A and B are shown apart, each in its own frame.
Chain A
Amino acid sequence: NAGVMQNPRHLVRRRGQEARLRCSPVKGHSHVYWYRQLPEEGLKFMVYLQKENIIDESGMPKERFSAEFPKEGPSILRIQQVVRGDSAAYFCASSGGQAVGYTFGSGTRLTVV
């Protein structure tokens, strides 16, 4: 049973480029959550998706950030025109429908140079 798979583990982008982070949930989980962790801080909620639907995006910056969870394939967190402040670890989690059943991935560490 594979857990939540995130790739890439590390991503380096120059300012202005696009970053695409992928998350494959636990098999059978249809709920995906994205969190961001700045250095020396806790995780901050970004967005909650179910298959093909965004349920809660209250933590997403209004510009440049988008997320999707298509019917087939992984969930994608997309950051356009990255800036240095986007440098962080981005974690994905999945569940079968309750916050108590979260499984976290190992994260993608984005560095913007």
Chain B
Amino acid sequence: SQQGEEDPQALSIQEGENATMNCSYKTSINNLQWYRQNSGRGLVHLILIRSNEREKHSGRLRVTLDTSKKSSSLLITASRAADTASYFCATDAYQGAQKLVFGQGTRLTINP
């Protein structure tokens, strides 16, 4: 089954509110990354959290990682219309595997 499952699948909030997306995975990992994809476009790397880290911040983004629960969350604070996009988590497996395993993504809509 798919490593890296996000929930919710879709999220619609008002501009200015906070958006929280969750990701679960199944195997041990080296790192977990979050990407954004605008409709019909490529992926933009947002933030990386290593398996020995529990929380990381970057601007309005906050990522947490709980390796005991094999889960991560991405919080976007003070959302803006430009944050409307799909958000994916991606893991690279422990022991040097080079490939990333992506979840199905959360489609975030920010309503003005």
Which positions in A face B, CB cutoff 8 Å? 31, 33, 35, 41-45, 48, 55-56, 58-59, 91, 95, 98-100, 102-107, 109
Q: Is the CB of A42 within 8 A of B4?
A: yes
Q: Which applies to chain B's interface (DSSP): helix, strand, loop or mixed? A: strand
Q: Which residues of B contact A109 (CB under 8 A)?
A: 40
Q: Which residues of A contact B30 (CB under 8 A)?
A: 99-100
Cβ proximity bits B54-94 to A, threshold 8 Å, 1 near / 0 not = 00000000000000000000000000000000001010100
- Is B34 located at the chain interface by the 8 A CB criterion? no
Q: How far is the CA of A31 from the CA of B31 in the complex (A)?
A: 18
Q: Is the CB of A42 within 8 A of B98?
A: no
Q: Pick the most buried of B40, B43, B45: most chain A CB atoms within 10 A of its CB.
A: B43
Nearest residue, chain B, Cβ from A33: B99
- 14 A-B pairs within 8 Å (CB atoms) are namely A33-B99, A42-B103, A42-B104, A44-B102, A45-B101, A48-B98, A56-B98, A59-B99, A95-B98, A98-B98, A99-B99, A100-B33, A105-B42, A106-B41
